[in-house]
Chains A and B, each alone.
Chain A
Amino acid sequence: MSEIIIDPVTRIEGHSKITIQLDEHGQVVDAHFHVTQFRGFERICQGRPFHEMPALMARICGICPVSHLIASAKTCEEIMAVSIPPVAIDLRRVMNLAQIVQSHALSFFHLSSPDLLLGFDAEAAGRNFLGVAAAAPQLARDGIALRKFGQQIIERLGGKRVHPGWIIPGGVSHPLSPEVRDEILAAIPDALERIRRTLTWYKANVATWADEAAAFANFPTLYMGLVHETGNAAYSDGDLRVIDGDGNHLADRRDPRPYWEYLGEAVEPWTFLKSTYWKDLGYPDGLYRVGPLARLNVIDQLGSPEADDELEQYRERLGRYPASSFYYHHARLIEILHCIQSIADIVSDPVILDDHVRAVAEVNRSEGVGVSEAPRGTLLHHYRVDDNGLVEWANLIIATGHNNLAMNRGVLDVARKYIDGHEIEESMLNRIEAVIRCFDPCLSCSTHAIGQMPLQVQLIGAEGQVLDEVAR
């Protein structure tokens, strides 16, 4: 048995390694996406007052702290047994949508566009965002501007762009001012122009990535996401819809909170990242995907006209339920468009300036679950507290955990397609990393990872000898 190790995978949020096992004939027999680091927020929070949880849990991630704020605050509101003011729900939606814009922009422009623009086989030293800036400065400027658009809304609402504290148990800490409302609205036209231009660029070039689209985690799975009562996309609230690869509903408008009834969590010795699976199908057959690709598969429509036009084109071109994870990229762009339009719609309603934005209560239940859509997929927080409101136990299920089985299967498929012989080829390395990047995994969220390592790839022969080694 031989083994190839990619350590770490570059240009993802956090760090990991990949091992690919070969048999004595050089054929790939297995592959694993390892998450090797651990911080343990579920343990750190024990003994802390429940109302501290949103601020504490937001520290899990510097990219999507808003998702953790929302899921955590909703969990606390279950414990408080309160319904929060409708304006607070809408204000949280604005911040969540802004976060999806900035996170998707980071994933598409900063992390993935170097592969798309410069080629998956371009020299690694130049295949980065600086390379994009040199080759296609308008694309780079659009990426920067779209990320800033989302970050500035978060900063205007929450006081800072990373780890804002505005979302609290019971609602939000202060209402929206007319000045901030006007600033947000003033930024909408420029953001729309930039995402329209990017969608045009992507659609004009998508044929050049046909090989990757065919090979990158291209298999039917289940898909999971939140939907409104209408069947349209829901990001901060909504109920669960799960479909199979043919669109058959395994669950629809289901209360997502009792997740233990429908999800299992498997633990493997080679990774700190838990693998969740759809319980009815068991482990590992119950693999499913979440995030942009899955959301566009499970929803009927997005709910904003221009984005729905894009969604219709996407479905006409790729089919109603695209299976290739390569199309996470396209789905992200369509979601950016929808999020910008939705922000404009919400903020344009005069009721958004209402100053009743918080409900107040103490502990009325001993347990709560909060669910929302993070940029990378469905996010669940679950806490149990004692009579004094101190957290006794917590469990977090993060998008990257939902996608773990699919990512591993995707790595295996790409390895089988691109590995030939006992030497490490750059083309194989590049595509193994790129298939992982499609999912935009956030290891900081899923394992609370910290640290960086140099890229190391080893090919180990049947007798355990190193046949080839590459450092990047």
Chain B
Amino acid sequence: MSDGDGVLVIGYGNPLRGDDGAGWSAAELLAEDPRAAGAQVVICHQLTPELAEDVSRADLVVLIDASAEVTGGAAASRPGAVEVRTIPVAHDDGTASTPVTSLFSHHIDAVRLLQLSGALYGRWPPAVEISIRVADVEGGTALSPPVGAGLSVVVDAVIDAMRTHERRCA
């Protein structure tokens, strides 16, 4: 049962900083992928509070980002490795289930974006974060070979997340 506007995919990063643009590139591929037809695809440099209203309207939010952090084992530390993480849901009181760090400026992280969605617009939809491990974030518009090769894995992971969500809602 859907009570929102469907799937929202947000690909973000800086396309002028090499692999940091991987989220941007993957979102561009998804926008052209017939398997993702019907999904709203947003491409931006960073997550900002202005996205909270769009997030609140979605049934599922998929965030695609480049990552320099290694949270898995050795395989996850390879450039081009793709990690899928379900973003923790809110507590009953609507607060985040992960520690709130100080908001430094005008950009926010994924959990804080969802928290804003809940606080301001009353909905905290399920969300998945898909990240691809970077090799090179120096200046330039080209992705490194392993990250470029990993984009299709990212796209497939997004499609999997959408299908899993559809099955749950069926």
| A40 in contact (CB, < 8 A) | no
Contact present for B50 and A147 (CB under 8 Å) = yes
Q: Find residues 27-85 in chain B having any chain A CB closer than 8 Å to their own CB.
A: 45, 49-50, 52-53
Q: Which residues of B contact A (CB under 8 A)?
A: 45, 49-50, 52-53, 100-106, 108, 112, 115-116, 119-121
CA of A62 to CA of B12 in the docked complex: distance in angstroms? 15
CA of A140 to CA of B101 in the docked complex: distance in angstroms? 19
CA of A124 to CA of B105 in the docked complex: distance in angstroms? 13
Nearest CB in chain A to that of B95: its residue:
A134
Residues of A within 8 Å of B53, CB to CB, are 144, 148
Residue count of chain A within 8 Å CB distance of chain B: 28
Proximity string of chain A (130-143) to chain B, C-beta cutoff 8 Å, 1 when within and 0 when not = 10011001001101
Chain A contact residues, majority secondary structure: helix
Contact present for B116 and A133 (CB under 8 Å) = yes
13 extra interface residue pairs, beta carbon distance < 8 Å, beyond A133-B116, A144-B53, A148-B53:
A11-B105, A13-B105, A124-B102, A129-B49, A129-B103, A129-B116, A130-B103, A130-B112, A133-B119, A140-B120, A143-B49, A148-B50, A151-B50
A-B contact pairs, 25 of them (CB 8 A): A10-B104, A10-B105, A12-B105, A13-B106, A62-B45, A106-B106, A110-B106, A124-B102, A125-B102, A128-B103, A129-B49, A130-B103, A130-B119, A133-B116, A133-B120, A140-B49, A140-B116, A143-B49, A144-B50, A144-B53, A144-B120, A147-B50, A148-B50, A151-B50, A162-B45
Residues of B within 8 Å of A140, CB to CB, are 49, 116, 119-120
Total inter-chain residue pairs, C-beta < 8 Å: 61
CA of A137 to CA of B49 in the docked complex: distance in angstroms? 13
CA of A319 to CA of B49 in the docked complex: distance in angstroms? 36
| A248 in contact (CB, < 8 A) | no
Interface centre among B49, B100, B101, B108 (most CB of A within 10 A): B49
Contact present for A111 and B120 (CB under 8 Å) = no
Nearest CB in chain B to that of A106: its residue:
B106
Q: Which residues of A contact B (CB under 8 A)?
A: 10-13, 62-63, 106, 110-111, 124-126, 128-130, 133-134, 137, 140-141, 143-144, 147-148, 151, 162, 452, 472
Known: A62-B45, A111-B105, A111-B106. A130 touches B50 (CB 8 A): no
Residues of B within 8 Å of A12, CB to CB, are 105
Nearest CB in chain B to that of A59: its residue:
B16
Residues of B within 8 Å of A141, CB to CB, are 120-121
Nearest CB in chain A to that of B115: its residue:
A130
Contact present for B120 and A137 (CB under 8 Å) = yes
Nearest CB in chain B to that of A63: its residue:
B106
Q: In the complex, how many angstroms separate the beta carbon of B119 from the nearest chain A beta carbon? A: 4
Contact present for A128 and B119 (CB under 8 Å) = no
Nearest CB in chain B to that of A138: its residue:
B120
